Chains A and B, each alone.
Chain A
Amino acid sequence: MKIFGFHLMPWPYLKPEDISGSDSSWVTMSNALYDPVKGHQLYDTYFRQIVMYDEVGFDGISVNEHHQTAYGLMPSANMTAAMLLSQVKGTVALLGNALSLSDHPLKIAEEVAYLDVVSGGRIISGFVRGIGAEYHSFSMDPSTSRERFYEAHDLIVKAWTDPGPFEWYGKHYKFRYVNPWPRPYQQPHPPIWSPSQGSAETVEWAARNKYVYLQTFSDTKSCEKIFGELREAQERHHGRAMPECAGWSVPIYVGDTDESALREAKPHIEHLFNDLLRMRRDQLFPAGYLTVESTARVMSSRAKGLGIGRKTCEDLMEAGIIIVGSADTVRETIEERQRQFQFGNFSGIFHFGTLPDELFQASLTRFAESVLPHVRKLGEPALVAGA
């Protein structure tokens, strides 16, 4: 399978009083807490860490976008990719462009094509709706988020594949001339990935289109169910399960031993899940972002929801939301999950929360030496999807 390294680029300098002084690390946590001088050094560290994924032999790096939050300091997947493109040999996965947060899908079509041409076809184009809180951050109507996502996607794919100029008069987007220069290097277009936390509609959509469905931040039980639904949908649409179109993304820490791994990872992973992912419920699910049915389902199980309620590192390990352990434990866990979930793409999040650089490097080195050679052989190789 293909192995990717993902990074969230969090702000690691929040003090306990900063956290207790705000009810969320999104939307309203004051950016007075941000220090650009520290930020400069931090980007330097984070960029080196991402390049290290490539150096140790991963198939690709993954970047994304988040807005107005201490959780993630990449405001643009495309800009981040542009800065990293010449520093890495492998694939650069944009995971993803938040279509419904953008008011201009043609700009995304152009920028991704631009990156694809410059890189000679090393781009994966992920499309997401954006986190609920980001609808507050950008004052975007959450009630039309899903409609705009699908329409923007349809427009971008058509812009990449149909000769222009043509007109587009959709419900949400109107263009007299659709005619982007450049067109993508990969034909008919870069592989499309769909990172999600398991909405039934997204699973079906990704399966139907042969896109890579990437499950993020989820427990083992949910993953088993969702990957089962994905395989079922792939079989229904294409006559076979498609592991090359399934991906799993998970935070990982590899220590010398299980005990030292837990000790080293614990405060940093708990900071990610308890402090950085923390948000008000109506930030996570703004009005109309989810259907009535999904909202009722989510509300009834909200105690389990990420971002709401505190979790320990041990809780998260037990639920399967993270992998923390020695190289043997991590390898065995990935092998087992691969058998259970049958994914052909694996995206590890080796940096989380406040994890210091030296721990990141040690963990990634252990992974590269003792885990990567084994897990790479698992499953079928990922094919280029999206054709």
Chain B
Amino acid sequence: MTVLGKIARDVEVSGIRLRVLSEGQGPPLLFLHGSGDLGSWPEILTDLSRHFTVIRPDHPGFTGSEDGEHIKSVHDISFVYLSLMDQLGLDKVSVMGVSLGGWIAADMAATEPNRFDRIVLVDAAGLRPRGEYPDYFMLTPVELAELVYATDSMRESMVAFMTNLESDSETFGTYHRNRASTAHLAFNPYMHDTQLPTRLHRVKADTLVVWGAKDGILPLETSDAWLQAIPAAKRIVIDEAGHLPHIEQRERFLTAVSPFFGI
């Protein structure tokens, strides 16, 4: 792995070619993206790459990775990523997962608890949502954009991007495929796994639950479910942020997670 700059490579794991981006040096930090992610490298990862080797795979069925015929659940993806860790020679990692990625992170940590150092779950799916929440699968791209961010400027730029989504066939194709892959994992039960709460007691690593105070996709109340399932977890709520606080309030987010990561 190079020290400077971001590198992209293809890694074949369990018969699936995964696109893996990485940057930085230091102990490994696995970043697991959300369902609406179109393959970006958010700035927060560059921030974290000053202290970690940040590793960002595209999930099977998403953006630059292949589908994987045998993938039927988030639990199946956990095994792919545990094998990816084996293949990259990573015995133990810290993991930060957003939304769908948080679900995968929690499932991995319940499956092989000893391989995780610190866990950050950001507006994580995986447990039954609480409060009033929309049906992600009913939303058009623009409706989704209106709900993802809490601040006007972020919302407006996202709406503008999504309004033009269909005119860019490659990006629309990625959006469509990622959404279909999300449906495959999370259509029923809606965005959660009823078995996950029965497994989370196995999680050993220090766990931080971070949530946008105004999450319009998975309401803040949902974070209570994570604290109940992982009683040792701590929670930090990011003000003026929606579903993606690491993007919408990057500096506040970094300030919030730095002590947890010891950076």
> Do they bind each other?
yes
A288 and B180 alpha carbons, distance in the complex (Å)? 4
Chain B contacts for A135, CB-based, 8 A: 187
**Are A140 and B187 in touch, CB under 8 angstroms?**
yes
Kindly list chain B residues whose C-beta atoms are within 8 Å of the C-beta of A191.
none
> In the bound complex, how far is the Cα of B184 from the Cα of A140, in angstroms?
9
Chain A residues close to B by CB (< 8 Å): 27, 135-136, 139-144, 280-283, 286-288, 292, 295-296, 299-300
Q: Is the CB of B166 within 8 A of A296?
A: yes
What sequence of 0s and 1s flags, for each residue 170-196 of chain B, a beta carbon within 8 Å of any chain A beta carbon? Answer: 001100110111111001111000000
Assuming the contacts A292-B173, A292-B177, A295-B176, asked whether A141 and B183 have C-beta atoms less than 8 A apart, the reply is yes
Which A-B residue pairs are the 10 nearest by beta carbons?
A288-B180, A287-B183, A139-B188, A287-B179, A143-B184, A143-B180, A141-B187, A143-B183, A292-B173, A292-B176
Contact A282 B176 (CB under 8 A): no
The listed residue (B138, B166, B182, B187) touching A299 by CB distance below 8 A is B166
How far apart sit A299 and B169, CA to CA, in the bound complex (Å)? Answer: 11
Chain B: CB-nearest residue to A286: B137
Determine the residue in chain A with the shortest Cβ distance to B135: A136
B139 within 8 A of A: yes
Measured between beta carbons, the chain A residues less than 8 angstroms from B140 are 280-282
The answer to whether B182 and A139 touch across the interface, beta carbons within 8 angstroms, is no
Mostly, the A contact residues are: helix
B138 touches A280 (CB 8 A): yes
**Taking A281-B140, A282-B137, A288-B180 as contacts, is the C-beta distance between A139 and B166 under 8 angstroms?**
no
Smallest CB-CB separation from A144: which chain B residue?
B184
Interface size on B, residues (CB 8 A): 21
Please indicate the chain A residues that have their CB under 8 angstroms from the CB of B138 in the complex.
27, 136, 280, 282-283
Taken together as a complex, chains A and B put the C-alpha atoms of A300 and B168 apart, in Å, by 12
Q: How far is the CB of B111 from chain A (nearest CB, A)?
A: 23
CB distance from A173 to the nearest CB of B (A): 14
Closest CB of chain B to A28's CB: distance in Å?
8
Report how far A103 CA is from B253 CA in the complex, Å. 44
Residues of A with C-beta under 8 A to B176 = 287, 292, 295-296
Q: Which of B169, B173, B184 contacts A141 (CB 8 A)?
A: B184
| Interchain CB contact (< 8 A) of B169 among A283, A288, A296 | A296
Instruction: Quote the shortest CB–CB distance from B39 to chain A (angstroms).
Output: 15
Q: How far is the CA of A280 from the CA of B181 in the complex (A)?
A: 20
Partner of B137, one of A287, A296, A299: A287
B28-67 CB contacts (< 8 Å) to partner A? none
Across the interface, do B184 and A288 meet the contact criterion of CB distance under 8 Å?
yes
Tell whether, in the assembled complex, residue B182 and residue A287 are in contact, meaning their CB atoms are under 8 Å apart. yes
Known: A141-B188, A286-B183, A292-B177. 17 other contacts (CB 8 A): A27-B138, A139-B188, A139-B190, A140-B188, A141-B183, A142-B180, A142-B183, A143-B183, A143-B184, A282-B137, A283-B138, A287-B179, A287-B180, A288-B181, A288-B183, A292-B173, A299-B172
Report chain B residues within 8 Å CB of A292.
173, 176-177
**Pair B188/A288 contact, Cβ less than 8 Å:** no
Contacts of B189 in A (CB 8 A): 139
Contacting residues, chain B, for A288 (C-beta < 8 A): 179-181, 183-184
Supply 15 A–B pairs (Cβ within 8 Å), ascending by A: A139-B188, A142-B183, A143-B180, A143-B187, A280-B138, A281-B140, A282-B137, A282-B139, A282-B140, A286-B137, A288-B179, A288-B181, A292-B177, A295-B176, A296-B173
Contact mask for chain B residues 210-235; partner A; CB cutoff 8 A; 1 contact, 0 none: 00000000000000000000000000
B20 to chain A, nearest CB (A): 23
Whether B172 contacts A139 by the Cβ 8 Å rule is no
Q: Taking CB as reference atom, which chain A residue is nearest B176?
A: A292
B179: nearest residue on chain A (CB-CB)?
A287
Contact between A296 and B172, CB atoms less than 8 A apart: yes
In the docked arrangement, what's the CA distance between A175 and B181, Å?
A: 26
**Given the complex, which residues of B lie within 8 Å of A296, measured CB to CB?**
166, 169, 172-173, 176
Which A residues touch B135, using CB under 8 A? 136
What residues on B are CB-neighbors of A299 within 8 Å? 166, 172
B109 nearest CB across to chain A (Å) = 26
Q: Is the CB of A142 within 8 A of B187?
A: yes
Distance A150 CA – B172 CA, assembled complex (angstroms): 27
Q: How far is the CB of A293 from chain B (nearest CB, A)?
A: 9
A300 surroundings in chain B (CB, below 8 A) = 166
Known: A281-B140, A283-B138, A299-B166. A139 touches B173 (CB 8 A): no
